[in-house]
Amino acid sequence: MGIPVNSLVVHVTGARPNFPKAAPVLEALATRGVEQLLVHTGQHYDERMSEIFFRQLGIPQPDVNLGVGSGPHGAQTAATMVALEELFTERRPALVVVYGDVNSTVAAALVASKLGIAIAHVEAGLRSFDMTMPEEINRLVTDRLSNLLLATSVDAVAHLGNEGVAADKIHFVGNPMIDTLLKNIDRFDADAARAAFDLSGPYQVATLHRPGNVDRPEDIARLVTAMHQAADEAPVIIPLHPRGRGRLTEAGLFDHPAIRVEDPLGYVEFMGLVRGAAAVITDSGGVQEETTILGIPCLTLRPNTERPVTITNGTNQLVTHETLPSRVREVLAEGPLSQWPTPPLWDGRAGERIADILARKVAG
């Protein structure tokens, strides 16, 4: 306990959604002259799930890649913890910054807290109240151990307050993933996406990777039926996450003339495709937020969301396998949205706010 500290800030990333969240924080903190070390745990490792984000978003190459790779939760989290414990003990950071709700996030929080190192959690306080989601467990544990809780939405601030977190630890900073979107928006070329995928009329984009949708055969069968019904209405492009790809293929996801399954896309290409879409079908957390800012109707194939602000102040709605086809018909009939609300402080300045708080913390 209580190892000596210096003013080094260590950022721990590892999975795809971490990268667009960390990019603006790294950039803003660099301008404040704070010494930083970027760790990639290696949780995601395919070029399309990792390296392409660094290249497209101009994120500095990680200083360290722990190369933990895939595995069951216990093995993956434990391998990350072993490697991080060694690194933190050697480097003695003043502060560890963790992002989102993936296994890399909770592993870093567990290790830092046992070593007496302060933790800042970017995207604190989100709650689905669904303990069958591994991410909900990761969120609860990470927030409980964190010293700075950096929240993207008002509901997240309220959840932390309800859980007894002291008000002076909680900061409503906005959404750094939206900083990345706004910074790059001129690169999102819907016409190029249409040309690349040979699309003329209205089309849909889908991403699917939640265990609740793609792990069990009975869920997969219902999902495939629902997706085929959605594709009866307009073509669906699916840049498919590696999780469940084999199972979805076997269950016949590809077997519809209007469904096109692709490898995961680079951020710029993906957002270009989304920008031109008539509807997005997803179970992704980040995509619910991005569609909200772009004003693209988002149909979230989940029973709940930890991002209700995308429903109250955005374009999102929850759908089931059964309601998806009729919701797709409704959204396509309504056509493009001319106006829609957006959440407070999703204004492109979250990275700056976060960097101010982190810099103050390490300055003592």
Q: Which residues form the interface with ligand UDP (CB under 6 A)? A: 16-17, 20, 207, 239, 264-265, 267, 270-271, 284-287, 290
Handedness of CA 153, 29, 117, 50 (dihedral sign): positive
Output 199 or 281, the one with its CB closest to ligand UD1.
281
Output 73 or 360, the one with its CB closest to ligand UD1.
73
Q: Quick check: 102 binds ligand UD1 (CB under 6 A)? A: yes
Q: Which of 31, 46, 166, 185 binds ligand UD1 (CB under 6 A)?
A: 46
Helix (H, G, I), strand (E, B) or coil at 132: coil
Of residues 133-162, which lie at the interface with ligand UD1 (CB under 6 A)?
134-135
Q: Which of 11, 21, 40, 44 binds ligand UD1 (CB under 6 A)?
A: 44
Shortest spacing between CB 280 and ligand UDP, in angstroms: 10
Query: Per the residue annotation, which of 40, 44, 171, 209 is the catalytic one?
Result: 209
Q: Which does 148 bind (CB under 5 to 8 A by kind): ligand UD1, ligand UDP, none?
A: none
What's the CA gap between 278 and 231, in Å, rounded? 12
- Burial (CB < 10 A; 0-12, 13-18, 19+), residue 158, is middle
Q: Which does 43 bind (CB under 5 to 8 A by kind): ligand UD1, ligand UDP, none?
A: ligand UD1
What's the CA gap between 96 and 105, in Å, rounded? 10
* Sheet of 95-99, strands arranged across: 64-65, 36-40, 9-13, 95-99, 118-124, 148-151, 170-172
Closest to 313 (Cα-Cα) out of 330, 334, 298, 335: 298
- Catalytic residue list contains 209: yes
Output 146 or 282, the one with its CB closest to ligand UDP.
282
112-141 b/e (C-beta count within 10 Å ≥ 16 → b): bbebebbbbbbbbbbbbeeeebbbbebbbb
- The first and second tokens of residue 243, run together, are 């999780």
Shortest spacing between CB 267 and ligand UDP, in angstroms: 4
Shortest spacing between CB 289 and ligand UDP, in angstroms: 8
Which residues are CB-neighbours of 324 under 8 A, at least 6 positions away?
226, 227, 229, 230, 281, 299, 301
Which residues are CB-neighbours of 220 under 8 A, at least 6 positions away?
213, 214, 244, 247, 248, 251
Helix axes 176-184, 350-363, angle to 10 degrees: 130
Q: Which does 62 bind (CB under 5 to 8 A by kind): ligand UDP, ligand UD1, none?
A: none
Strand pairing partners for 10?
37, 96
Q: Are strands 95-99 and 64-65 parallel, antiparallel or unpaired?
A: unpaired
Shortest spacing between CB 158 and ligand UDP, in angstroms: 22
CA angle 144, 149, 155 (to 5 degrees): 95
Interaction pattern, residues 216-255, with ligand UD1; x per rule: CB under 6 A: -------------------------xxx------------
Shortest spacing between CB 15 and ligand UD1, in angstroms: 4
Q: Which does 44 bind (CB under 5 to 8 A by kind): ligand UDP, ligand UD1, none?
A: ligand UD1
Output 147 or 304, the one with its CB closest to ligand UDP.
304
Q: Which does 290 bind (CB under 5 to 8 A by kind): ligand UD1, ligand UDP, none?
A: ligand UDP
CA 114 and chain centroid, separation: 26
Shortest spacing between CB 106 and ligand UD1, in angstroms: 8
- Cβ atoms of residues 73 and 134 within 8 Å: yes
Output 270 or 346, the one with its CB closest to ligand UDP.
270
Interaction pattern, residues 55-94, with ligand UD1; x per rule: CB under 6 A: ---------------x-----x------------------
- Cβ atoms of residues 324 and 301 within 8 Å: yes
Shortest spacing between CB 251 and ligand UD1, in angstroms: 17
* Catalytic annotation, residues: 209
**Under the rule (CB under 6 A), what is the footprint of ligand UD1?**
15-17, 43-46, 49, 70, 76, 101-103, 134-135, 209, 241-243
